[in-house]
Amino acid sequence: MATIINGKELALSLKQEMAANVATFTEKYGRVPHLVVILVGEDPGSVSYVTGKAKASEEVGLKNTTIRKPDTISEEELLGIIDELNNDDTVDGILVQLPLPKHIDTDKVIAAIKAEKDVDGFHPMNVANLWLKQPCTLPCTPKGIIKLLKRAGVEIAGKEVVVVGRSNIVGLPVSKLLLNENATVTIAHSRTRDLGEVTRRADILVVAIGRAKFITADMVKEGAVVIDVGVNRDPESKKLCGDVDFAAIEPKVSAITPVPGGVGPMTITCLMENTIECFLRKMER
Ligand code: GUN
């Protein structure tokens, strides 16, 4: 029987700690940290994430403003909104929910956010500082994964880690964070030859490819630790499911994150933490 790594529970206890801290800052600085989320369009996944971010902000005691714009918004107008928020001293964190409509250049939008207010850790300056091991805002999902592994008591140093997926949001940054923890890291992806042969080497397997139940039991080593970043709809049951076939893999591994209730709640919690960090850096400058 595997240990089920409970992200929901850890997220709740971290949010409670943060709420207590936020109450203290409010006394000290006279206001609470303020996160602004920009949502373009009505993609159901994005709407649900943005709602979750607003709810978590409330739980932690942060001010949250959600700016909703239609998917016909021009790039120029979106950049104008970001410029205003960059120059607004009452705004500590800015997040543009991705994906953006095709007519908008996502890289340009991300780079337009002031690095000090980039709570996603996606700005080129934050990405560079992550790879240079300099102080920076860490992307939320990778940060949450490291916290989950540590809380579950998983030793990372010296382990064979395989990350499946090479996105800027998860695969690449989590690989760097695991390398910083002294793991031996392999990054596998859609073009990897004999993926199963590679994933079976993993003591710790991190999967972020966005394909329902893509990792099957035969692709996982006995006793491995499995971190499932996927949030998909099972084409048959229509229920939420991860990138790994949980029911088939759970009996074989030592620990595994569920979907939902694993990595997801930690991502939002780390966003709250990043917003507080941006606020404190500003107040203490
Ligand atoms: N869309 C999916 N994940 C994320 C995320 O972590 N941040 C933003 N801004 N958009 C996303």
- pLDDT, tens only, 28-68: 999 999 999 999 999 999 999 999 999 999 999 999 999 99
Q: Is 92 a catalytic residue?
A: no
- Residue 147 pLDDT grade (very low, low, confident, very high; cuts 50, 70, 90): very high
pLDDT at 186 over 90: yes
Q: Which residues contact 229 (CB under 8 A, 6 or more apart)?
A: 141, 145, 165, 170, 206, 207, 208, 242, 243, 263
Region 223-247 average pLDDT: 96
pTM: 0.97
Provide the mean pLDDT of the chain.
Answer: 97
Q: Is 16 a catalytic residue?
A: no
Region 281-285 average pLDDT: 91
Q: Which ligand 1 atom is at minimum distance from the Cα of 140? A: 6
Which position among 120, 228, 243, 245 bears the catalytic label?
A: 120
CA distance 143 to 161: 16
Res 1: pLDDT: 84
Q: Which ligand 1 atom is at minimum distance from the Cα of 267? A: 6
Which is nearest to 130 in space by CA: 94, 165, 179? 179
Res 153: pLDDT: 98
Q: For residue range 90-113, list pLDDT tens digits in order.
A: 999 999 999 999 999 999 999 999
Coil, strand or helix at 184: strand
Res 260: pLDDT: 96
CA distance 206 to 224: 11
Res 37: pLDDT: 98
97 lines ligand 1 (CB under 6 A): yes
pLDDT at 87 over 90: yes
140 lines ligand 1 (CB under 6 A): yes
CA distance 77 to 269: 30
Res 285: pLDDT: 82
Res 82: pLDDT: 99
Region 102-126 average pLDDT: 98
Region 221-230 average pLDDT: 98
Straight-line distance from the first to the last Cα atom of the chain, in angstroms, rounded to the nearest whole number? 49
